[in-house]
Structure 1
Amino acid sequence: MDHHARTQNEKLEFKTTTCYMCACRCGIRVHLRDGEVRYIDGNPEHPLNQGVICAKGASGIMKQYSPARLTQPLMRKAGAERGEARFEPVSWEVAFDVLEKRLSHLRATDPKQFALFTGRDQMQALTGLFAKQFGTPNYAAHGGFCSANMAAGMIYTMGGSFWEFGGPDLDHAKLFFMIGTAEDHHSNPLKIALSKFKRAGGRFIAINPVRTGYAAIADEWVPIRPGTDGALFMALIRELIEHDGYDRAFVERFSNAAELVDLREDRDTFGLFMRDPGAPEVNALYPQNHLWWDTRTDRAVLHHTDGAQPALEGRYVLEDDTPVAPSFALLREQVAHCTPQWAERITGIAAETIARIAREMATVAREQRIVLPVQWTDSWGKTHDTVEGAPVAFHAMRGLAAHSNGFQTIRAMAVLMS
């Protein structure tokens, strides 16, 4: 059969789906010939990547056709020691028989001796459910060793995170910081957005130990000693507070900065927010019974009381002699020693650079403020006709997360953004 006739008889088609080669989840078209995958390209109708595809996504075909792909169970050869990598193929029947015997014994004796770890297979919900049903808490997957504290730290601090929960708003940003980010996080959409951002005159600062990937097109590369990002964030927070470079109105109303903290060290409630026992807690996620110190009446009131002017500084005493302070005042005390000079010794970034970056953030936030005509209602029932904000954007990932103090580093960044 000649080539022309063979081509006419072939069935050519493509299926649309989502790429799972990284955390980005781009839309792709999988092209088939007679039911066999021939190549993969980006889906131009997908809103996330708009047809763009990276080399990793295009190589997804190898998930189906790689000669190294496992197609049957392997078992360590008799007499082989652990680590020798000497395996032989066995049937599914043999594999299931061995697993059934071993797992049955563990479940009957001590199920916690069973530890289950899976890679980046996107099946953590299913494997976690299996482990729980089996009776073991000892299960993990790719995320726990990659960036789970990135998600946990930001959700814990401000209710949302980067990663699969969204990328930076570069359509409105004027100043953009990328910190500890690899190529495979929000990859293609971020490349598209960065291209537009740079053409529109946006300033891109990359903070990373090495200048690679995205940082190659940054307007400024700030090298940092690995694992020390938290010190940089603390210094930036300190500079913004000391030089009044933060949005006081936002911090007062839309954060817990003005809420009073219990300072009785002999109580179980030490360090927790004070609550008015006479006020109902309407919603556990948005407690309505926390307290402010109202500077107009010089007394404690329920937070978001109409007409109240909450204090962000100082220490106070309630009517029952409980010492309290706004959480913002405690934050100021916490970062008071975190000068640019202090951070320079830890991060390797010049103190002058740290101070300049803080000034740049404050200047952009003040002088290039954005207002969007979007109506919304806040957690306390007040409706706003616009969304207002500072056009300073951040994007970070596992470079901040993959070390012992990663969780606290993420929290510091979330506080800085707030």
Structure 2
Amino acid sequence: MSKQNLYQHDPAIAIITGACPHDCPDTCSWQVAVERQSGRAVDLWGHPHHPVTAGRLCAKVDRYLERTYHPERLTTPLRRVGPKGSGQFVPISWDEALGAIAARLQEIIATVGPEAVLPYFYAGTMGYLQGEGMAKRFFHRMGASQLARTICSEAGFEGYVATIGATEGLEPQAFAHARLILIWGSNTLTSNAHLWPFIQAARHQGARVIVIDPARTRTARAADEWIPIRPGTDGALALALMHVIVAEGLYDADYVARHTLGFDALAQRVAEWTPERAAELTGVPAERIRTLAREYATTRPAAIRINYGMQRHAGGGMAVRTIACLPALVGAWREVGGGIQLSSSGAFRHLDTTCLYRPDLLQGRTPRTINMNRLGDALSLDPAIRARAHYHPRPVDPVPTPAEAGPPVMALIVYNANPAAVCPDQEAVLRGLQREDLFTVVLEHFQTDTADYADYVLPATTQLEHWDLIKPYGHLYLALNRPAIEPVGQSLPNSEIFRRLAGAMGYREPCFAQGDEEILQELIAAQRHPRFATVTWEALLERGFVRLNLPEPYLPFAEGNFPTPSGKCEFYSQRLADAGYAPLPTYTPPAWQQQAAEQGDSTAHPPLTCISPPAHSFLNSTFVNVERLRRREGVPTLQIHPDDAAPRQVVDGAPVTVWNQRGRLTLRAVVTADIVPGTVLVPGIWWAKLSPDGRNVNQLTAQDEADMGAGATFYDVLVWVAPAVDLNPAAAEARGAMAVAG
């Protein structure tokens, strides 16, 4: 019996439909059972009628009630009374908190200017309203610095859009019709679990599933084949695949002629990329590259699933651009189950958010934009360092001088994010957060690493307690979240907190008086594009989710019609050329490859490449404090190949020290052949305060930017590894050198 059937006839229970807000492509629709008398949620499950959720939730969100009713949930505003970082606070009233925050912000604006205020936010919720809605109105009215949200997917999006025109592609249901599925740089069972049933349906019909990844992930173990690849070399593999496809005449000449641009130039480019050349870079044998190219080109339909991890390196944007050329080259877009998926968010690109975000409140001002990856730089008082934090995503964009850096950040407002844990170059971020002259306000559910550095912490509601509208990036169903319970304690929705802050600041525009339902109804009513013809407020209230007005099945590019300037899949991109990039697919090596080549054999134990994908039980830094999930993960670990462990005297299960020029931490070694040699894997993202070492992997990551979009480079890190008995990095390296020499 389904849970819906279990509760729907119980007069003591109300069933409320909502949607998961977290940073996941699945964007599940859920139902919540609420006791009518007590108002308490007693159960939660995946909506049985949602075509993608199909009645199931992931292991993380299945514990969402534990998170909502967690004993450490913040339920009252807090004011800091101890040193920054100590986590010492006292409860205060909302009026006291809002009055003090508004007074300090007004003082900073009057003396330094509104750009001295920086909002910092990301995907703690993916909802339009609680994510950015009222907050954007507030900061637009203020004229605060703006934030470039680059930390996750920006490089890959830029590369994909340059080729295809928008982040559109296969919807998950189409994978069930594929005969060959390449899961390339995606751990589907951890980060996209609701795609897996469609992949399994394809396998039951005889499809073959191949995973291309530096690690034998859960997904790779469940697939038909794992092709190990060195991190950041995916672009070289894609070029070699195209080399074989073109050289052997396996491309779809008709589709290429009608629906692509620049094939002749592409053919010349890939002629240079023999499988032997790519094998040296990728570690994938040349013969396997040849057979993979033939399998992909001759199997119909063929689907590719790529994800964000593959673009978190110095050549990430170009790697995604290059892989995105493959479906058009072989005509895979013609058929149901053929094509590629990075994200479905581009399918929603016509959604008009003007009435929600109210850019008119800027009144013609153009505040500086800070790259969120460079928060450590942004919080510096040195203008030369602060200038590096300005967002300049393309080669043709001017790099600000120190004189153009703008005022120091004097106020940081953090919501839907935990930068002390998730930002690169953790030590630089913490130095900034420790500044006594930095006024920090954090909206949160829990006392996170970041909240420990706040001057004021404001308790926010969870998804069970507020209205929102959620846009997915893994399917085509817009979802409405209805509040199922009253706010826990004195917590308030983000929208209400910024509404009250606006009032305390003296902002009297009518938009700050709108209620949440009114805002969402206005947003839905404002849509004019035909894709939203099916999306009405009434339909959302009735069902909880509505599919975009697109055909079923949806073949976005079967007849071309790419949303590029040419209307074709652009093997050659003038838009890229104008932005200062190479107009044709090419190989931009990861930084680790360049750095390792420069170092040569200068050390007895060469550095290893470190990647840090999500732990299976966490979602970024969310759920780390749910004890059941943290127990499931155990302790922070480092996976290392036996060939790398033995010369370093690293033993399975023993502590190891991992370090580079930015920081150091201690982890438990997992010696395994499930990682390519020369690479270590550190699952993230642990809260530092909940890690035995008091640090996490972002001690090691850099604020460096990828080749496109100023994206993050979390998986492009060189580290040294040694047994943890040597806590001094220099001593550890010397000990390793002596061991090798002896």
TM-score normalised by length of structure 2: 0.39
What letter is aligned with 1:404?
A
What's the secondary structure of 2:257's corresponding residue? helix
Matched letter for residue 67 of structure 1: P
Report whether the alignment pairs 1:153 with 2:159. Answer: yes
- CA distance in 2 between counterparts of 1:185 and 1:330 reads 37
- Which residue in 1 is equivalent to 2:20? 19
**Is the Cα–Cα contact under 8 Å of residues 73 and 95 in structure 1 kept in the other structure?**
yes
Q: Counterpart amino acid of 2:48? A: P
Structure 2 CA distance for partners of 1:37 and 1:358, relative to 1, 3 Å:
same
Pairing 1:171–2:179 present: no
Change (3 A) 1:405 1:9: closer
Taking the TM superposition and a 5 Å limit, the aligned residue runs for 1:356-367 are 356-364=291-299
Q: How does 1:103-182 map to 2 (within 5 A)?
A: 103-108=105-110, 109-120=112-123, 121-122=125-126, 123-126=130-133, 127-140=135-148, 144-161=150-167, 166-167=171-172, 169-182=174-187
Contact 2:243 2:274 in 1 (8 A): yes
> What is the SS of the residue equivalent to 2:66?
helix
Structure 1 residue 394: Cα displacement: 0.8
Alpha-carbon spacing, 1:168–1:331, altered in 2? closer, same or farther (3 Å): farther
**Distance (whole Å) between structure 2 residues aligned to residue 113 and residue 232 of structure 1:** 45
What is aligned with 1:416? 326
The alignment partner of 1:30 has SS state of strand
Q: 1:405 and 1:90, CA in 2 relative to 1: closer, same or farther beyond 3 A?
A: farther
Is the CA contact 1:158–1:414 (under 8 Å) kept in the aligned structure 2? yes
Instruction: Among all aligned residue pairs of Structure 1 and Structure 2, give the percentage whose two residues are the same amino acid.
Output: 32
Partners of 2:311 and 2:79 in 1: how far apart?
Answer: 35
Q: Distance in 2 between matches of 1:9 and 1:15?
A: 14
- Report the equivalent of 2:99: 97
Out of 63, 66, 74, the position equivalent to 1:62 is: 66
Could you tell me how far apart the structure 2 residues matched to 1:185 and 1:161 are?
18
| The one of 229, 250, 258 aligned to 1:253 | 258
Q: Any conservation in 1 of the 2:34–2:41 contact (CA below 8 Å)?
A: yes
Q: Decide which of 240, 250, 264 is 1:235's aligned counterpart.
A: 240
What is the aligned partner in structure 1 of residue 204 from structure 2?
199
1:342 aligned residue: 277
Larger-gyration structure (1/2): 1
- Residue pair 1:162, 1:396 contacting (<8 A) in 2 also: no
Aligned partner letter, 1:52: R
Distance 1:68 1:147, change over 3 A: farther
Cα pair 1:167 1:395 within 8 Å, conserved: no
CA contact (8 A) 2:243 2:267 kept: yes
In structure 2, the CA distance between the partners of 1:67 and 1:230, relative to structure 1 (3 Å rule), is farther
Question: Any idea what SS the aligned residue of 1:145 has?
Answer: coil
Q: Distance in 1 between matches of 2:257 and 2:47?
A: 44
Change (3 A) 1:137 1:393: farther
1:71 corresponds to: 75
Contact 1:168 1:393 in 2 (8 A): no
Once the two structures are superposed, residues 365-390 of structure 1 have per-residue CA deviations (whole angstroms, 9 ceiling, x without a partner) of xxx4xxxxxxxxxxxxxxxxxxxxxx
Question: Residues 131 and 139 of structure 1 are in contact (CA less than 8 Å); yes or no, is this contact kept in structure 2?
Answer: no
SS in 1 for 2:209: strand
Go from structure 1 to structure 2 and tell me whether the alpha carbon gap of 1:75 and 1:332 turns closer, same or farther (over 3 Å shift).
farther
Could you tell me how far apart the structure 2 residues matched to 1:219 and 1:54 are?
23
Q: How big is the shift at 1:398?
A: 1.3
The 5 A counterparts of 1:26-65 are 26-34=28-36, 35-65=39-69
Equivalent-residue separation in structure 1 for 2:54 and 2:204 (angstroms): 18
Distance 1:147 1:398 in 2: 6
- Over 3 Å counting, the alpha-carbon distance change for 1:125 and 1:239 in structure 2 is farther
- Any conservation in 1 of the 2:190–2:218 contact (CA below 8 Å)? no
2:387 paired residue number: none
Structure 1 gaps of 5+ residues are 1-7, 258-326, 369-390
CA distance, structure 1, for counterparts of residue 295 and residue 63 of structure 2: 41
Deviation string for 1:154-204 (max 9, x for gaps)?
2332134369x833722321100111223454421x121022111111000
TM-superposed CA distance for 1:411, in Å, is 0.9
SS at match of 1:54: coil
What is the one-letter code of the residue matched to 1:55?
A: A
**Residue equivalent to 2:193:** 187
Segments of 5+ residues of structure 2 without an aligned counterpart are 1-8, 329-742
**Matched-pair contact (CA < 8 Å) for 2:157–2:317:** no
CA distance in 1, matches of 2:72, 2:40: 18
What is the CA–CA distance in structure 1 between the aligned matches of 2:175 and 2:68, rounded to whole Å? Answer: 36
Quick check: 1:179–1:399 contact (8 Å CA) kept in 2? no
Q: Tell me: CA distance 1:100–1:344, structure 2 relative to 1, closer, same or farther (3 Å).
A: same
In the TM superposition, residue 227 of structure 1 has moved relative to its aligned partner by 1.9
Amino acid at match of 2:291: R
Aligned residues: 310
Q: Which residue of 2 aligns with 1:297?
A: none
Say whether the 8 Å CA contact 2:235–2:322 is kept in structure 1.
Answer: yes
Change (3 A) 1:217 1:162: farther
Alignment TM-score, normalising by the size of structure 1: 0.67
Distance 1:135 1:31, change over 3 A: same
For the residues of structure 2 that align with 1:333 and 1:83, how far apart are their CA atoms?
57
For residues 137 and 217 of structure 2, the distance between their equivalents in structure 1, rounded to whole angstroms, comes to 38
Q: Please tell me whether the aligned partners of residues 172 and 198 of structure 2 are also in contact (alpha carbons under 8 angstroms).
A: no
CA separation in 1, counterparts of 2:77 and 2:34? 28
Aligned mates of 2:250, 2:147 — CA distance in 1:
45
1:350 positional shift: 1.3
Kept in 1, the 8 Å contact 2:183–2:212? The answer is yes
SS at match of 2:42: strand
Q: Is the 1:19–1:25 Cα contact (8 Å) retained in structure 2?
A: yes
Q: Is the 8 A contact 1:235 1:339 kept in 2?
A: yes
Match of 2:181, as an amino acid?
A: F
C-alpha contact 1:23 1:184 (8 A) present in aligned 2: no
Amino acid at match of 1:396: I
User: 2:313 aligned to 388, 393, 403, which one?
Assistant: 403
> 1:95 offset after TM fit, Å?
2.5
Query: Matched residue of 2:183: which SS?
Result: strand
